Every structure is written in C-alpha cells, then in structure tokens.
Structure 1
Amino acid sequence: MQQSPPGRPPFIRAYRPGDRDAVYEVCLRTAAAGGDATGLYRDPDLLGDNFAGPYLHLEPGLAFVLDDGGGRAVGYVLGTSDTPAFVEAFRRSWLPRVADRHPAPSGPPRGPDEEMAALLHRPERLVVPELRDHPAHLPIDLLPSHQRAGHGRALLLAFLGAARRAGADRVHLGMLTENTGARAFYDRLGFRVLDVPDPGPLTYLGRSTDPEG
C-alpha cells in the first residue's frame, strides 16, 4: 500500500468519488471481526457492495475518510441520518446496481459468499424497532496501521457533527460482539448498550450525535 510522504500527517476530509476503491479495500481488510477478510470471498467487492457502497452512493455528504497524507484513504466513517429512509433508497436505488453481480441465493445460503449475498438482498434488516429513537447509524473502519492514534475518534466526531446538522439527535451501530477491541473504542467514546431482544452475533450501541456529549 502507498505510504504517506514524509512530513505529511494523516488528516480527516470529506469523501471524494476517487476514494471508492481505497474505501472498499479498507472494508475488506477489516471485515473479519476487525481482521483481514482478503481471500475469504470469491468476489472481493462483495463486502464493499454490502457495507460501504450503499453509503457512498446514497449518503456521500455523510462520508468522511482518513487521508494518509498522500491522498489515499486508509480509514472511513460512513452512515445515514435516517435509517428507514436509507433502507428504502437502498432497495430502490442501490440494490438494482449490484444485484446481477451478487444474486440472491435460491435457497438457504451455503457458504460465506451466499450468506453475504443474502444480507445484501435484505436491507430491511437494518431497521430494528427498538432503535427508532436512534435514527442515524454508521460503520467506521481503519486499517491497523492507522489505529490507536486518535484517528478513529476524529472520524467519529466528524460524522456526529454532520449527522446532527442533518437532523438526527441520536446514532446507533451494530458490532460483532466478538470484536472486543472495537467495543473498548466505542465505550471510550460514550456509546452505551441498547437493549435489542435476540440480537444474534451483534451488540447494538448508541449515543447522542452531540460531539460534546
């Protein structure tokens, strides 16, 4: 991966269309409970088309990247201020763009590729009734080389401010319960567990979008 030129520190900036491939790479390299999922799926874009692309396409104004100082995105925060509206747009506008490349399984999913394709074709899973008071939601990911340096906090604060300006007063996220490193990060930033019955492998967390709160 391209390294930062000497003397140019990483910084947060708004997403640009030219960042798409780098964002997809970050998504892939952090998708295995925070670890690298490279080689786990036949189509390396499957994860990005599921967990990054819809936000870039539908909510680019709420997308921020960590620039390594040389123009390459090495982390991102994406999201929406209105989860139900986002899900409707996902089905109407995003899914038709990628459905042919990732068809829905004809029966129960077999293997990781079909399991991920099944998720892609079921965006309504993102609407959880118990989270209606936390209408915004986000995914955030950083390459390991840029973790533990304050960049995740800076990305999150950029998103919180933008989501608040867009009208959302609370935000939620769903994280794999096994990802204990991520949980510690969210705890430090004021997220608290949200009670969702039968959440499966996920833990749902939420907080105010007030960057000070």
Structure 2
Amino acid sequence: MSNEPAVRRYRPEDRPALDDICVRTGHAGGDAREVYPDHGLLSTIFAAPYAELEPELTFVLDDGTGRAVGYVLGTADTPRFAAAFRTEWLPRVAARYPAPAGPPSTPTEEMLALLHDPERMVVPELADHPAHLHIDLLPEWQHRGFGRALMHRFLDELHGRGVPAVHLTMATANVAARAFYDRLGFRELAVPHPDTVTVLGRPTERTPPERAPGPLGRSARPATS
C-alpha cells in the first residue's frame, strides 16, 4: 500500500469514513456534530445515497494508509438520481429517519424534510447542467491541493461520459468554499433558491487555462475543499 495520498474509487469499506467526513464538514463547512445529535443523518442525505446508488461516480482521497479523508460524489443525471432516491434509497432509511409530522422546527427536522423530498433536486432551470456533486475534505486536508485533485477526477469522469455541465448547491455562508469553486471556474446560476444557499455550475470540460494539477498535494495554485 502506498504511503502517499491518492484519489481513488470508493470502496464499500469507506462508508464509515464518508459518514464521518460528511458530519464533520456539514455546518457551512464546519463541524456539525453539535448541531445534529444523530451523526449519520447528513450522510444519509448528502453522501451515502450516492455511494450506494452511483458508486462509479464516488471518489475518495486516501491518506496513504487506506483511510478516506475526503470525497467527491454525485450523479450524471439528476432527475434519474432523484427517482432512484425515492424508490430505492428512501425505503431503506425511512424507518430510522421518519418525515417530520409538521413544519420543521429544529435543524434535524429541516434535514428530515429534505430527505423525504428528493424531487427538490430537479430544477427545470438546471436542465442544461444535468449532473450535480458534493465534495468535502477533513479540515487538516484542506488548502493543500487535494480538493482540486478530487474535483478534476470527477469532472473528467463526467466529461468522458458525455455529460456537458455540472451544478452544486452550497451554503452561502461558506465563503471559503465559494472561493475554491470560483477558482475552479464555477459561476453562479440564475435559478430560484433561498438566500441561505447558492447554486453554482460549470462545464465538465476543462478550459485551456485550467491546468491539470501537478503531483497530488502540490498543485500550481492553492486550493481548499
């Protein structure tokens, strides 16, 4: 086994690490474990279903010992994924995470409402950006070029499949993440959304000025997750 960090495909044994990364970066980029008592909730919405339903589009940053310390995951076809979330994923988790009985009144209930509404992912104005993604790294692995390496792996995979463009939704308050996405060529998309979130998108094809990263962790420009 290599002692060097490397981006690789997801393996089923990475699932606990995905859950941990997701909750430790789930509060506008910060640790959400104090916000959500069930530390598996965020991953059940934003990470695990992608690893289970589309593992071929799930990549992790391996720290060199086999441990995943970051990930990028998503789907090439958002409407198709939302349908699979409804019919295949939600029945697996609904007993543990039932829908709130009324309007959400706590952070957990807000997340449960999202879990039970996968159709929210299908936005007509995003039809020309059919893919979407989520990317997260543990804090100690940020600002070292690894986020850029993960993103390039995902974009190249989408481009190789003929997917023209990808979008993501981020917490508007996460200014560090926004700076990272801006450097990677993501631009704000004019779609309806609450002020608390921002929707960004870009083509999957790399533009000429966008150089491939050098040795992992030594990219030409600084990056964050």
The reply to whether TM is greater than 0.5 is yes
The residue aligned with 2:170 is: 175
In the alignment, residue 36 of structure 1 is paired with which amino acid?
D
The residue aligned with 1:42 is: 37
How much has 1:105 moved relative to structure 2?
0.6
The residue aligned with 2:72 is: 77
User: Whole-Å Cα distance in 2 between the matches of residues 167 and 93 of structure 1?
Assistant: 25
- 1:131 and 2:126 matched: yes
1:83-107 deviation per Cα after TM superposition (whole angstroms, max 9, x unaligned): 0000000000000000000000111
The DSSP-based 3-state class of the residue aligned with 2:100 is coil
Matches within 5 A, 1:104-123: 104-123=99-118
How much has 1:199 moved relative to structure 2?
3.5
**Structure 1, unaligned stretches of length 5 or more?**
none
Is the Cα–Cα contact under 8 Å of residues 8 and 61 in structure 2 kept in the other structure? Answer: yes
The one of 177, 180, 183 equivalent to 1:185 is 180
Matches within 5 A, 1:156-171: 156-171=151-166
User: Whole-Å Cα distance in 2 between the matches of residues 121 and 180 of structure 1?
Assistant: 28
User: Whole-Å Cα distance in 1 between the matches of residues 189 and 82 of structure 2?
Assistant: 20
**Structure 2, unaligned stretches of length 5 or more?**
209-225
User: Whole-Å Cα distance in 1 between the matches of residues 193 and 66 of structure 2?
Assistant: 42
Is the Cα–Cα contact under 8 Å of residues 172 and 195 in structure 2 kept in the other structure? Answer: no
The one of 21, 24, 29 equivalent to 2:24 is 29
Further displaced range: 193-202 or 133-142:
193-202
- 1:65 and 2:60 matched: yes
The residue aligned with 2:139 is: 144
Q: Which runs of 4+ in 1 moved over 4 A?
A: none
Q: How many residues align?
A: 208
User: Whole-Å Cα distance in 1 between the matches of residues 83 and 195 of structure 2?
Assistant: 23
1:19-64 deviation per Cα after TM superposition (whole angstroms, max 9, x unaligned): 0000110000000100001132221111110110110111100000
